[in-house]
Structure 1
């Protein structure tokens, strides 16, 4: 039978078996069926573990060993109740039941470790907030009422062992939920099985072991767990989570808000209905949650600041060449204007254009053209000083801003750039010196006009722009 159908057959057969269990009048046969359903899940999980290697096989094997301990507990429970005729609680059967939790928790932590993303610190904080908040109801409803009143230390340890084990298992599940982003079917089925197991424990403790109502969640957990192991996506549980999925979603915000409100909500319910107040427990949990929420806000703020810096770099940088873009050029040109005027130093600007770029693109393709642009940007940048700035102006055109260089020094630098242009390509350049009065746009136009003259004259050359139209008149007036 194809693997994509086996899990459906198992799930359907398991649900039918659970229905038969609920209808059986004889407690002996009902308990036998209970153990048989549990063993079927163990077989499904261990068979899956045997099919896979390395970490994924070990994760499923740990789950299978945990379930096997629980099934042995079921068998021992059946023996005590129906053969030995003694009360099975507390007994060694409970020890076997409790062994399930560390095995399964270790498996969940292994899955979480392999599926973590770059936002793992945030995920750990989120999971800690959830576990601390959810531990309060466990303390108030299940742990604190079971302290004392038992006839032996063993009975006391077993009574406290179940809710404490639930909190530990809950911590593993929440850790997995906060790190996983890819919701494959096996992952969803496994999550449902663990929730059913936790719900079964809570119901069993609260109603003190009703035969049918308390057993059904455990049986359904076995069945869903086995279906998760048999699903074809079971091998993908260790697939790393894409970083893009590690965002702070509205659903996560609402979940964290609800969990944080559990502390004051618990106190409000106790006050409203006259229950005994758990003042110290609520105080401690509230203080811990406050510190964790502040830490979470700090990490979120740092991530937002980092994203803002990255967006600013993207807005100011040409993605292909890594050079400053037109926006950055305009801002730098304005700053260099102020400095040149204040310090009375020259400011020269050159506009460069790779010769016959379209022909190169047609010959080597667009990827080859991109490589030429990026390679030229890298090669030219190596020859520039810290004061110079090379920016991509658009297409195959670049602008080189050279504060502190006069025309002769700027022309000498351009000649050096021509020697390192990759792929034996050449460029034409127009060079313009700021006259101390013209606008940046006017300076760029003069350099562009000189570039056009260089291309008209045959390319592969540098042409100096004519002085600004009113520069000579100003010079004569000063004379």
Structure 2
């Protein structure tokens, strides 16, 4: 017998709940419609609870808060149906309003748990992006919902509070939705259903508030996004991927300034002037103060976002510059930096009349060490040797005081370069020789040391040090050899 697919229950629930939701919308307004609506809503709440218990996610607290919020919302719907078909009244305000407002808080609290679990609590850029979208939505909500609702409820303080509370609840849900979208985490199937459920809830709630205020007839279609919102929330909790909702995945949902994010932020920033132009075009009453204040806040938020982007760019530039100058494994200056530093020290030595030495250090039998212990052990040896020699140089220079300079860099492979300024030949040889005892893991190195004659090029100076290094290798390794002075350049003599 072929085993059932792990998402069979999820698919069956999705198909059945969606069909019942569509059937409910097609039914004429009446007790039958409301009864089926209640069955779908409470059925989805039960499925959510079963999904959370079944999958036992790490962010269980967030899931239970969202489940409780949807459950309270379903209770408010049931209470409203009881007022309509049992008590035959339509009170406003009523205990159902308290339940609806409570559900906003519970759902928002659950989403905030998800945001924190996905690392969004410490994400400054994501918080600013969320604020930009929220401010734009607040302006739209004020113009289309809050201000007309407050005007219609004039004379009743409680009605005015509720007229403002419902749109503010939607603002809260939108803010948490955007904040969830800007977190770094796995974009699982459950994540997408959760985002879609919140979006459906917002669409349904805003549409209901607008049609109620304007008296527009939605012919029962207004209930479809609410029902589908119930279905989407339950689908998110039932899908097995809900266990990975809080998994943080590099590169997914992070705060990189992508084209899509830039486009979305641009549109959100244009909400204020767009609303003003719409009011002018339609001859509506201008909301000058609301548009002005939102424009100021949006401008400041965009500037803050840009300043954060610039700081991030400067930090990346500094890190790239450091990577270009240093060896990734040992953290020492790399060959390019060593070449540039040698040229600088040559100029300084010429101006100060100081001596300048170049030493090339080569770990003995490094290939055999790698073959015996592995490349990872070889890398560890290079890192430990670099750290030990650098510490030894710092200690030696702290003892002699200022006036001398030394730079240790990685030349390549198992070879290192040491530049010494202000040391006489004996001191330079003694300093390099003293590093031999600091080589870790019982290993040794050979070194060649060349003194700059004040005329030769960097390549010629390195070539002499390299020749001395090979003389140390041929002499038995584990020793320091001074390079022979450069050969004098013969100047041809003309004969008369």
Distance in structure 2 (CA, Å) of the matches to 1:324 and 1:117: 37
- Structure 1 stretch 3-12 or stretch 257-266: which is displaced more? 3-12
Distance in structure 1 (CA, Å) of the matches to 2:121 and 2:391: 33
Distance in structure 2 (CA, Å) of the matches to 1:211 and 1:241: 44
Tell me, yes or no, if structure 1 residue 197 matches structure 2 residue 204.
Answer: no
Cα displacement string for residues 152-211 of structure 1 (whole angstroms, at most 9, x for unaligned residues): 333333332221111111111111112244211111000000100000011112222745
Q: Which of 447, 452, 459 is 1:434 aligned to? A: 452
Deviation at 1:63, TM superposition (A): 0.7
Q: Any residues of structure 2 matched to 1:156-235 within 5 Å, and which?
A: 156-208=160-212, 210=218, 212-235=220-243
Distance in structure 1 (CA, Å) of the matches to 2:355 and 2:315: 37
- 2:18 match: 15
Structure 1 unaligned spans of 5+: 474-479
Q: Go from structure 1 to structure 2 and tell me whether the alpha carbon gap of 1:11 and 1:180 turns closer, same or farther (over 3 Å shift).
A: farther
- 1:123 match: 126
Tell me, yes or no, if structure 1 residue 412 matches structure 2 residue 430.
Answer: yes
CA contact under 8 A between 1:38 and 1:222: conserved in structure 2? yes
Deviation at 1:241, TM superposition (A): 4.8
Q: Tell me, what secondary structure is at the counterpart of 1:179?
A: coil
Q: Tell me, what secondary structure is at the counterpart of 2:435?
A: helix
Tell me, yes or no, if structure 1 residue 379 matches structure 2 residue 383.
Answer: no
Distance in structure 2 (CA, Å) of the matches to 1:180 and 1:292: 21
Q: Which of 146, 149, 154 is 2:149 aligned to? A: 146
Cα displacement string for residues 217-258 of structure 1 (whole angstroms, at most 9, x for unaligned residues): 100000011000001011222223537733111111110000
Tell me, yes or no, if structure 1 residue 50 matches structure 2 residue 53.
Answer: yes
CA contact under 8 A between 1:105 and 1:169: conserved in structure 2? yes
Q: Go from structure 1 to structure 2 and tell me whether the alpha carbon gap of 1:425 and 1:336 turns closer, same or farther (over 3 Å shift).
A: same
CA contact under 8 A between 2:188 and 2:241: conserved in structure 1? yes
Deviation at 1:47, TM superposition (A): 2.5
Q: Tell me, what secondary structure is at the counterpart of 2:361?
A: strand
Tell me, yes or no, if structure 1 residue 356 matches structure 2 residue 368.
Answer: no
Distance in structure 1 (CA, Å) of the matches to 2:375 and 2:369: 9
- 1:272 match: 281
CA contact under 8 A between 1:117 and 1:243: conserved in structure 2? no
Tell me, yes or no, if structure 1 residue 76 matches structure 2 residue 84.
Answer: no
Distance in structure 2 (CA, Å) of the matches to 1:165 and 1:124: 18
Tell me, yes or no, if structure 1 residue 395 matches structure 2 residue 404.
Answer: no
- 1:97 match: 100
Q: Tell me, what secondary structure is at the counterpart of 2:18?
A: helix
- 1:477 match: none
Distance in structure 1 (CA, Å) of the matches to 2:88 and 2:219: 16
Deviation at 1:432, TM superposition (A): 0.2
TM (normalized to structure 1)? Answer: 0.94
Structure 2 unaligned spans of 5+: 398-404, 492-496
Distance in structure 2 (CA, Å) of the matches to 1:27 and 1:87: 15
- 2:292 match: 283
- 2:481 match: 463
Distance in structure 2 (CA, Å) of the matches to 1:8 and 1:53: 20
TM (normalized to structure 2)? Answer: 0.91
Deviation at 1:282, TM superposition (A): 0.5
Q: Which of 322, 329, 333 is 1:313 aligned to? A: 322
